[in-house]
Structure 1
Amino acid sequence: MLRHTFLHLRGVGPRTEARFWREGVFTWDEALRHPLPWLGAWQREQARWELAESCRRLALGDALYFQGLLPAGERWRLLADFLPQAVCLDIETTGLYWGANVITVIGLYDGCQYRAFVRGRDLHLFPEAVRRYRLVITYNGQRFDLPFIEAEMGPVLSGLAHLDLMYVLRRLGLRGGLKRVEQVTGLARPSALQGLSGYHALVLWRLHRSGHRGALDTLVRYNAEDVVGLLPLAVLAYNLMAAELPLPLSPLPLPERPDLPLPYDPSLVEWLLEREEEAV
């Protein structure tokens, strides 16, 4: 998708990008060979330099370069080119506000493997593990996950591009929390943990700290259910957005939600959900 994109060029908005496509200029290589008469002389030279630089940066795998140039609502265009170097991320915390609360679990899923980093065990290994990727995918990470991580660990994600699915899904008319969006799109988790929420994650951490044997396993499994669902959602959003453009693009294969062989305590989950019903 990026090689079909002109929106990141200086002075090029949606209308001018659409003009490229209407004139049959669909890729950077085609633009570099085309006279581009709809641009002024100075803008043509600037565009050619920026297109050559774009080719170089893409060859280097510099996702952050394109994030800085694309409008926030168009960063979904990064996905196809950086999918092999992308990782989904979700955190659990002791509360809603960074600075006053701390991270308990960070989960990563790259399409092949899920890994949890747990406070008091191996949370300190997260910065090194995440550096191998180029693109981080979250849901509401711009307002929640990333500020928490920066407040606690510093700018460990500063070299990575970020795709927050909440905003692109809102453009598609899909609003609400992650589990609601999963249900509406037909990508709901099949797990018995479906009814748990962020509040339950907080309670699970407290139970773990008080010595409950099954609480940490259940918390990690809850985090895993959240994070592995991000990749199918990201691909779905990309395909829906790309389908609206007049471009010869093939949809990305929709990844299946993986089976998670991670243990959890079913009786504890049942107790948490019953407790919530009683409170209502």
Structure 2
Amino acid sequence: MLFRTFQQIPGVGPFREKELWSQGIKTWDDFPAAGTGAPALSRKADELAREVLGKSREALERRDLRALAQLIPSREHWRMYPDFAQDALFFDIETDGKQDNAPTVVSLFDSEGLHVFIKGRNMDALPEAMAAKRLWVSFNGTCFDAPVLRDYFGESRFPVPEAHVDLRFVTKRLRMSGGLKEIEDNLGVGRPPHLKGVNGWDAVLLWRAYLARGDVEALRFLVEYNLYDAFQLRTLMDVAYNRGADELNQDVPRLPVFDRGEVLYDVSKIILELGPTERDMQTLARVRSQDRDLRDG
């Protein structure tokens, strides 16, 4: 799809792009060279178009995602995904539900697998982990997740991706209605029974239960919930790309849709490895002491 994109040309939007395709100008290679035949847009516009397409081609050859993202309108950044899938980072966050919305659990999924960052454990390592990937994929992450993380870590420390595909807006354009979980259910990739109906406020309560009582089971449940929010985005990205290509009636290879079965073992492994920290044990000791006082009273 990227090689068939013309909306980086000034004055070319979705409808003009379709007109170019209908004229047989399917790819950048098809755009008429100077002095050959009738202009595709106009003589002046064609000259500018060739310049912009040349920059696009050079950026793709260099694998310069930032340059491509600056050329191509953000609403069409989903088209870049197949060419940069190895650089993709799928992520989601949970917060403490307070006014400042501090992140509590953040899950990442990339070509190396799953990664979890927890406040009070390893959250400080998150910016470096996210900076390692150039293409971010989220659901409402441009409006919520990324701003929350930027406020928490500070502008100077939190990275800026070379491109960020927000699937909330991509799926809306494709008429895939609802939030992330509703879309998952409609695609037949819903969550296991114990996670059905769990929402963002439940995530806040689970975190507070963990903080108040050192309840590691609450933390494990929260982490599992957040991990699904992250790796399910890979499936949704694949489906959305294929549907976008279908909508545009483009003869490009469709992506194999990610099978989450590949990571479910890793999810279980991460959850089981979440043991109590020294602070958790101190909390448990305090609660148990209070419980004994209550029984003695």
Structures share fold, TM-score greater than 0.5: yes
1:168 aligns with 2:170: yes
Q: TM-score, normalised by structure 1?
A: 0.87
Q: CA RMSD in A?
A: 1.9
Q: TM-score, normalised by structure 2?
A: 0.82
Q: Percent identity?
A: 37
Distance 1:159 1:172 in 2: 24
Report if the CA contact (8 A) 1:105-1:119 is conserved: yes
Distance 2:74 2:54 in 1: 23
Aligned to 1:196: 198
Structure 1 pair 219–241 and aligned structure 2 pair: CA distance change class (3 A): same
Aligned to 1:68: 70
1:215 aligns with 2:223: no
- Which residues of structure 2 form unaligned runs of 5+? 273-297
Distance 2:179 2:123 in 1: 26
Distance 2:154 2:80 in 1: 25
Structure 1 pair 247–174 and aligned structure 2 pair: CA distance change class (3 A): closer
Aligned to 2:242: 239
1:241 positional shift: 0.9
Q: Which amino acid aligns with 2:228?
A: E
1:112 positional shift: 4.4
The higher radius of gyration belongs to 2
Structure 1 pair 96–49 and aligned structure 2 pair: CA distance change class (3 A): farther
1:56 aligns with 2:31: no
Query: Which residue of 259, 267, 271 corresponds with 1:263?
Result: 271
Aligned to 2:123: 123
Distance 1:103 1:191 in 2: 26
Report the count of equivalent residues: 262
Query: Which residue of 239, 242, 250 corresponds with 2:253?
Result: 250
Report if the CA contact (8 A) 1:111-1:231 is conserved: no
Distance 2:98 2:63 in 1: 34
Aligned to 2:30: 30
| 3-state secondary structure, aligned to 2:141 | coil
Q: Which amino acid aligns with 1:182?
A: E
1:93 aligns with 2:114: no
| 3-state secondary structure, aligned to 1:128 | helix
Distance 2:193 2:68 in 1: 37
1:191 positional shift: 5.4
Q: Which amino acid aligns with 2:237?
A: A
Q: Which amino acid aligns with 1:151?
A: D
Distance 1:81 1:41 in 2: 31
Distance 1:53 1:137 in 2: 25
Q: Which moved more, 1:208-217 or 1:130-139?
A: 208-217
Distance 2:66 2:98 in 1: 28
Q: Which amino acid aligns with 2:94?
A: E
Distance 1:109 1:247 in 2: 29
Aligned to 1:114: 114
1:148 positional shift: 0.3
Report if the CA contact (8 A) 1:137-1:230 is conserved: yes
Deviations, residues 199-251 of structure 1 (Å, cap 9, x unaligned): 11111111111211222222111110111100000110110110122322121
Q: Which has the higher helix share?
A: 2
1:69 positional shift: 3.5
